[in-house]
Amino acid sequence: MTVRLDQPSATVQQPYESRLATSADGTEIAYREVGRGPGVVIVHGTMSSAHNHMELASGLGDVFTIYIPDRRGRGLSGPYPSGYSIATELEDLAAVVSKTGARDLFGVSSGGIIALQAALAMPTIRKVAVYEPPFFRDPSRPAELLERFDEELGQGRVAAALITAMKGAEMGPPIFNAMPRWLTERLTKLMLSREDKSGSGNYVPMRGLAPTLHYDFQLVAEMSGTLEMFAAIPADVLLLGGARSPAFLKSALDDLERILPRVTRVELPGLDHAASWNEDRGGRPRAVAHALRAFFT
């Protein structure tokens, strides 16, 4: 059953403490700590970092302690290993969970894939919420996107690689997806140049985030087609999604809703895949915080 929730207004960012946890291979994983109360770890997704979820953390920090790691390749966290896989992400998350004692997880997009896998691997996890994990019904599709993305990025065509990722994931406004590719590449080059000149503030710049897309595509390719394993998750699971999100993300939630044994699903009206981000990045974090507060309490 899909439940619809109203959307409260926006919030502001609270101060945070910077911490470090050490993963199994010795790599340091940086995370931010906000608030007071039972611990919840937010695992961010593609083209983002911990900073993208600071308003969400602030909206929950009055009743929870929120921990937001920077996944590898971002912020103060260390680099990706040569043998990267879902196991790498699980070891990184396990280091944060062990350091903080948190028992609840919220995974966004590719971070949702990591959170679901963690619910299988970590018996201490009590509840898991995920926002639109990008499972493809055809596992060959993300592998094809990864191949093209790597080719374009290897040629130094950052804008082209970003467009491949965006169109492959069906992201961006409808008018953007309807534009010819040459025009979207030109506009993306202009955005990259503008950010190079003016900076990105506290956000990781797009040019810096672009290489991390390789690992997210690799993660999605590795895990698509494996949903049946999640039938063994013992934790309560909340499936979150936006009414305006791409159809394939809604299909992934449909599949998970059929498989998971202890599941609740909530649809947020008027929102899309960026709902959990800060407002200046197109998010509506208070609406997401409202749903998470009800689930984790």
Last residue of a domain, one of 164, 196, 216: 216
Residues 278 and 197 grouped into a single domain = no
221: in domain? no
Q: 274: domain range?
A: 2-135+226-296
Average pLDDT, the chain: 93
The predicted structure's pLDDT at residue 10 = 43
**Measured distance CA(145)–CA(170) in Å, rounded:** 12
Q: What does the pLDDT average to over 238-265?
A: 97
Last residue of a domain, one of 174, 191, 216: 216
Cα angle 42, 112, 295 (rounded to 5 degrees) comes to 65
Residues 190 and 59 grouped into a single domain = no
63: in domain? yes
Residues 173 and 194 grouped into a single domain = yes
Look at the chain and report how many structural domains it folds into: 2
Burial code (b: 16+ CB inside 10 Å, e: under 16) for 255-293 equals ebeebbeebbbbbbeebbbbbbbbeebebbbbbbbbbbb
Neighbours of 28 (CB within 10 A): 14
> Would you say residue 143 has pLDDT above 60?
yes
Confidence category of residue 6, pLDDT binned at 50, 70, 90: very low
Residues 146 and 130 grouped into a single domain = no
Render pLDDT for 261-284 as a digit per residue (tens, 0 to 9): 999 999 999 999 999 999 999 999
Render pLDDT for 56-115 as a digit per residue (tens, 0 to 9): 999 999 999 999 999 999 999 999 999 999 999 999 999 999 999 999 999 999 999 999
